[in-house]
Amino acid sequence: MRTEELVDLLSTGVHSVPPHAAHRRFATSIALGTSGSLLLMYLVFRPRPDLAIAVLTALFWMKLAFPLSIASGAMLTVNRLSRPGAKSNFSTIRILVGGPVLLVWLWGISVVAIAEPQDRSDLIYGASWRSCPLNILLLSLPTFIAVFLAVRSLAPTRLRVAGAFSGLLATSLATVVYCLHCPEMSPAFWSMWYVLGMALGAVVGALVGPTLLRW
């Protein structure tokens, strides 16, 4: 087909894109994905029995703020990476993603350092270190699908990076949900196993990104 004909064809019957179409699509899929994760958590793991008491403690909210901050950083980045030519503002990402990780690491180290030697392994490993990263990955299935569908409907041009941050977004949202079940309250535990779970999600995202996000 001649290019002129194609241009004619493309320019007939075009309606304007509603404002913030991309944002809306993104918000919808994140809401849907997170609801899916919540449902999955409720069915598979159940919320922690003492949730009503835990929400009254500052520690619980700090724990929740940790993956939430990473999720917001990942969301901003994915949003940028899904648009061709948009500059990635890596200083914001560093603060929102790297900052909390660093803080939790420092916090975890200091908690372990001042603890009695016999309590240390308990602070790091808790009771669920074996299953924690895998549980997070399991809960991230709905968010993973939702985020990847949303990013795919946009136009990412750096597929591997976009995939990594999509995976990070999916698993950090799943971690927020997992916080409602997970009874571990040691920053050292979060700094190891939550971070590992989210990092695994980013790795998986980077691996499948070039295949799943192609357009």
Partner 1 sequence: MRDDIEDLVQEVLIAVHNARHTYRPDEPLTAWVHAIARYKLTDFLRARARKDAVTESIDDHDEIFASSDNEPGDARRDIGKLLDHLPDKQRMSILHVKLQGLSVAEAAHLTGLSESAVKVSVHRGLKALAARVRGIT
Residues near partner 1 (CB under 8 A): 1, 3, 6-7, 10, 14, 17, 21-22, 82-86, 154-155, 157, 214-215
CB of 144 to partner 1, least distance (A): 21
Nearest-5° Cα angle at 177, 59 to 126: 55
Nearer to partner 1, 42 or 90 (CB): 90
Nearest to 177 by CA among 44, 24, 29, 56: 44
- Of 90 and 215, which has the nearer Cβ to partner 1? 215
What's the closest the beta carbon of residue 147 comes to partner 1, in angstroms? 16
Comparison of 17 and 52: residue with beta carbon closer to partner 1 = 17
Q: Which ranges constitute the DSSP H helices of the chain?
A: 3-11, 21-44, 51-54, 58-81, 90-93, 99-114, 117-125, 132-153, 159-178, 187-189, 195-212
State the nearest-atom distance from the C-beta of 171 to partner 1, in Å: 24
Helix (H, G, I), strand (E, B) or coil at 196: helix
Taking the complex as a whole, the smallest distance from the CB of residue 209 to partner 1 amounts, in Å, to 14
Of the two residues 1 and 43, which places its CB atom closer to partner 1 in the complex? 1
Rg (CA), the chain: 20
Question: Residue 165 and residue 173: Cα distance in Å, rounded?
Answer: 12
